[in-house]
Amino acid sequence: MARLVLTYAAVTLVPVVLLGAALVVSYQAEARGRGLAEGRSEALLVAQTAVEPRLTGRPLSDGLTPDELASMKALAKRSVGDHDVLRLRLRNLSGQVVFSDDGSGFKDRPEDEALDAAHGEVVARLTHLNADSDDVGPIGPEAVEVYEPLTAGSPERRVGVLEIYLPYGPISADVTASLHGLYRDLAAGLALLYLALFAISMSVSRRLRQQLRRNTYLAEHDPLTDLPNRTAFHRSGEVACEAARRDGSSLTIAIVDLDRFKEVNDTLGHHNGDRLLSELARRLSEFVRPGDAVARLGGDEFGLILPGIADPEPVLWLVRRVIAHEVSIGGLPLSVDASIGYVVAPEHGTDVDELLRLADVAMYVAKAQHAGVVRYDRAQNHYDPAKLTLMGELRQGIEADQLVLHYQPKVRVDDGRIDSVEALVRWQHPAHGLLAPDHFVPLAEQTDLIERLTGWVLTTALRDLVALGPAAAGLTMAVNVSARNLGRAGFADRVAQTLARAGAPADRLVIEMTETALLTDPAGAAAVLREVSALGVKVSIDDFGSGQTSLGYLSTLPIDELKIDRSLIADMLVNRAHGAIVRSVVDLGHNLELRVVAEGVERADILAALRSSRCDLAQGYLFARPMPIGQLASRLTSGSPPRTLEPSR
Ligand code: C2E
Ligand code: MG
Ligand code: MG
């Protein structure tokens, strides 16, 4: 701190000193100017009152008359004797010396200044006595040398030039006396300025440092638990890996995911869920040793870095017990289990990204097998390792923008006009190519990754919708949402923010929710759907007919659309029960004032049956497969009339 203050003091001093130096230089120039001006007026006075009255008016080139000469000698003797003048010469209009108090200068070449004065110009300069190249004798004191034109006679005319050296000492004493006062004021002013600048820069920099510290803290910490966040965890992991590599020691990285945390949130509210997370964060922080690291990686996921433990298994079982220890939330004794997956470096690798991915995989195994604590093992064959690895890769895939959206139109059954499109996610996997959502969405739904996935889909779909411009006027965009998305606090707020950021009106967004997803938490889902619907967003029940929603429950939901499950549509012409269900669902939907969509329409005869059942919309390969945005853009403008699709088979 002291060094910082010293640095500031020095840095602030620089401009003040520069300013002071500039002012001093300018004051001195000013003082010299004043000295010269004073010299000039003294010379003028001598010329007008002492020299000119002694001249008869003859040009000095004719030489001085004996009277003039005597009178000039007397004048010179007196004024040089009194030290009022250092040297006094008269020159003719050609610049030659015709009188000199000390006999000097008669042989010198006429000086330019003398010639200028002969033409009527007063020339004054600061010099020393005997400083001219023609002068002889030692250099004398500082002097103001003035060449003053002389006029005399009547009528008055220019007769010659007075060259006079006035002692600068008395003049400069006058000027510097007034300068001293000025310097004092200047020094006081600069000192005040310095203090003010120092104080301002100290306080501004203190505030900036505080802000910087705060921003750095926020960028690396989770605001709820105050634990380091994923970014900070990653960095600690890198440091710990490096240290382990150097020491040749081992390092354990563990990922801890709470089991059924969503139920705590749903039954006790998000506020109490947050309290539970804070309490567990506190316990984990207390549990670890100095040099270990604990972080909140997101949602209900924590990370641990434990260097130098030979056998981490018992330690991690202890972590699990610490977490499961009863905690009182809102007066209720609660206990949550956790699934922990871990890796050991260097055995499982030395790259932090890779280690975190593998620890994720081990955690998914722990979760799926209800195994508590699981060490990553390549040979794990109870689980489909490819899928688990994929899961670990998905997090990075989302960040690396490997997801893509394809859009499938929903068309009006009566005239084939495209009414809306559904965004369906795919993953352009670097090794496996384009992956269908069935390969990764169900896995993502088991963890908080689904949050990021849905966020990405929502943002991208709305951005694309806006980018389609007038070609898509009135078109709505449907996005699929998982049960876990609705379970997270603030879902409706996030949707509202995404709409605002994309600049899309709420009524052009449709949220598709499968009937089975609704059933995992009917009351909670209904509440969130009401919030979403209040924004103006439309709600559609996907795969309807595949679950067993009670009609009573259905009537309490703020829904706009029913999508009849593909399995019912596919065989509605051969399976009489399915045919009847389809017709009933269309009627039911209409009675509840909903639009009804048939999913998976692949054949013209099915389309005809849907038309006669008065189903509103159809979606399926018969009209179009899901397609990239570019293709959708051209489909919207082609067709006759535009924006209609012909059944293809
Ligand atoms: P879904 O929402 O019911 O989407 C319809 C699925 O049926 C799509 O499969 C679509 O390609 C397929 N399909 C459409 N027409 C036909 C047809 O005529 N015949 C047949 N056989 N299939 C047809 P896709 O794209 O593989 O998506 C599968 C499921 O993955 C979706 O079912 C949806 O539940 C889920 N999904 C897709 N994208 C997302 C997403 O962004 N978020 C979430 N949470 N789930 C998504
Ligand atoms: Mg859907
Ligand atoms: Mg569906």
Average pLDDT of the chain, as a whole number = 90
Residue 242 Cα to chain centre, angstroms: 30
Share of the chain above pLDDT 90, in %: 53
Question: Is the CB of 486 inside a 6 Å radius of any atom of ligand 1?
Answer: no
């509840």: which residue's tokens? Answer: 592
Q: Does one domain contain both 85 and 98?
A: yes
Same domain, yes or no: 466 and 610? yes
Single out the residue of 396, 499, 490, 493 nearest to residue 449, CA to CA.
Answer: 396
pLDDT tens for 574-587 read 999 999 999 999 99
φ/ψ of 575, rounded to 5, equals -100, 105
Q: Which residues pair with 27 in a beta bridge?
A: none
User: Would 311 be classed as within a structural domain?
Assistant: yes
pLDDT of 253 reads 97
Strands 561-564 and 595-599, bridge-based pairing: parallel
**Hey, whose CA ends up nearest to atom 7 of ligand 1?**
600
148 within ligand 1 shell (Cβ under 6 A):
no
| pLDDT over threshold 80, residue 59 | yes
Atom of ligand 1 nearest to the CA of 543: 3
Higher pLDDT, 387 or 361: 361
My answer on whether 430 and 495 are in the same domain is yes
> What pLDDT is recorded for position 383?
54
pLDDT above 80 (res 613): yes
- What is the Cα–Cα distance from 485 to 458, expressed in whole angstroms? 12
Evaluate whether 412 touches 617 at the Cβ level (below 8 Å): yes
CA atoms of 399 and 404, how far apart (whole Å): 12
Give the Cα separation of 446 and 442 in Å (integer): 7
pLDDT band at 384 (very low <50, low <70, confident <90, very high): low
Per-residue pLDDT of 61-90, as tens digits, reads: 888 888 888 988 998 888 888 888 899 999
Structure tokens at 606: 């099915």
Instruction: Say what the pLDDT of residue 381 is.
Output: 41
How many CB atoms sit inside 10 A of residue 146's CB?
25
Quote the ligand 1 centre to 424 CA distance (angstroms). Answer: 6
Q: How many angstroms separate the CA atoms of 484 and 447, rounded? A: 8
Is 591 or 28 the better-scoring residue by pLDDT? 591
Q: Is the CB of 577 under 6 A from ligand 1?
A: no
Same domain, yes or no, for 247 and 376? yes
- Kindly give the distance from the C-alpha atom of residue 480 to the centroid of ligand 2, in angstroms, as a whole number: 5
Predicted local distance difference test score (pLDDT) of residue 554? 86
Residue 380: is its pLDDT beyond 70?
no
Domain span at residue 253? 230-381
Tens of pLDDT, residues 428-451: 999 889 999 998 998 888 777 899
Q: What is the CATH number of the domain that holds 287?
A: 3.30.70.270
Give dist(CA 108, CA 97) in Å, integer. Answer: 8
Contact predicate 326/333, CB 8 Å: yes
Residues 352 and 407 placed together within one structural domain of the fold:
no
Q: Last residue of some domain: 353, 381, 409?
A: 381
Cα distances from 323 to residues 240, 253, 318, 363, in angstroms, run: 24, 17, 9, 16
Give dist(CA 84, CA 401) in Å, integer: 93
Residue where a domain stops, chosen among 322, 349, 381: 381
417 and 306 fall within a common domain? no
Return d(Cα 189, Cα 619) in angstroms, integer: 82
Three-state SS for 118-141 is HCCCCEEEEEECCCCCCCCCCCCC
Pair (353, 327) in one structural domain:
yes
Residue nearest to atom 45 of ligand 1 (CA): 480
Hey, what amino acid is at 7?
T
Question: What is the average per-residue pLDDT within 185-201?
Answer: 88
Closest residue by Cα to atom 13, ligand 1, is 600
Q: State how far the Cα of 342 lies from the Cα of 298, in Å rounded to an integer.
A: 17
CA distance 208 to 197: 16
CA of 421 from ligand 2 middle (Å) equals: 10
**What is the pLDDT averaged over residues 38-42?**
90
pLDDT band at 382 (very low <50, low <70, confident <90, very high): very low
CA 186 – CA 141 distance, rounded (Å):
30
In terms of pLDDT, which residue wins out, 384 or 213? Answer: 213
* Dihedral sign computed on CA atoms, order 616, 618, 619, 625: negative
What token pair was written down for 456? 């990405």
Structural element, H or E, at residue 214 = helix 168-220
Joined together, the tokens standing for residue 401 give 């923008």
Average pLDDT over residues 516-541: 91
pLDDT digits (tens, 9 = 90+) for 82-111: 888 899 999 999 889 999 988 888 888 888
Q: How confident is the model at residue 266 (pLDDT cuts 50, 70, 90)?
A: confident
Residue 218, domain member (yes or no) = no
Mutate to test the pocket of ligand 1, among 408, 410, 420, 424 (most ligand atoms within 8 A of CB): 424
247 occurs within a structural domain = yes
Residues near 626 by Cβ (< 8 Å), separated by ≥ 6? Answer: 406, 407, 408, 422, 424
Residues 386-409 have a mean pLDDT of 87
Q: Residue 54: pLDDT above 80?
A: yes
Please check whether residue 187 lies inside any domain of the structure.
Answer: no
| Distance from Cα 511 to the centre of ligand 1, integer Å | 14
CATH number of the CATH domain containing 558: 3.20.20.450
Q: What is the pLDDT of residue 545?
A: 87
- For residues 612 and 521, state if they share a domain: yes
Answer yes or no: is 195 within a domain: no
Compute the distance from residue 625 Cα to the ligand 1 centre, in Å: 10
CA of 162 from ligand 3 middle (Å) equals 113
* Residue 302, SS3 per DSSP: strand
| Residue 396, domain member (yes or no) | yes
At residue 388, the pLDDT reads: 67
| Residues in contact with 504: Cβ distance below 8 Å, sequence separation at least 6, in sequence order | 462, 465, 466, 477
Instruction: Report residue 389's pLDDT band, with 50, 70 and 90 as the boundaries.
Output: confident
Which pTM was predicted? 0.54
438 lines ligand 1 (CB under 6 A): yes
Q: Is the pLDDT of residue 7 over 90?
A: no
Q: SS3 of 518, please?
A: helix
Segment 39-60 shows an average pLDDT of 88
CB 257 within 8 A of CB 307: no
Residue 198: inside a domain: no
Which of 408, 480, 561 is the pocket-test mutation for ligand 1 (most atoms within 8 Å of CB)? 480
For CA atoms 128, 133, 135, 136, the dihedral sign is positive
pLDDT of 413 over the 80 cut: yes
Q: What is the model's pLDDT at position 109?
A: 85
Q: Confirm or reject: Cβ of 436 under 6 Å from ligand 1.
A: yes
Q: Check whether residue 86 and residue 154 sit in a common domain.
A: yes
Q: Out of 153, 174, 195, pick the residue that ends a domain.
A: 174
Answer yes or no: do 280 and 390 share one domain. Answer: no
What does the pLDDT look like over 269-325, one tens digit per residue?
889 999 999 999 999 999 999 999 999 998 899 999 999 998 999 999 999 999 999
Are both 568 and 477 inside the same structural domain?
yes
Give the span between the Cα atoms of 498 and 266, in whole angstroms.
Answer: 24
Domains in the chain: how many in total? 3
Query: Is 189 among the domain residues?
Result: no
| The pLDDT of residue 405 | 98
Instruction: Round to whole Å and give the CA distance between 291 and 243.
Output: 11
Mean pLDDT of 227-253: 94
Atom index in ligand 1 nearest the CA of residue 563 equals 3
Instruction: Work out the angle at residue 525's Cα, subtended by the Cα atoms of residues 521 and 530, and round it to the nearest 5 degrees.
Output: 155
Task: Give the domain CATH number at 157.
Answer: 3.30.450.20
* SS3 call for 440: coil
Let me know whether 403 and 523 are in one domain: yes
Ligand 2: centre distance to CA 388 (Å): 25
Q: What pLDDT does 454 receive? A: 96
The H-or-E segment that residue 158 falls in is strand 157-167
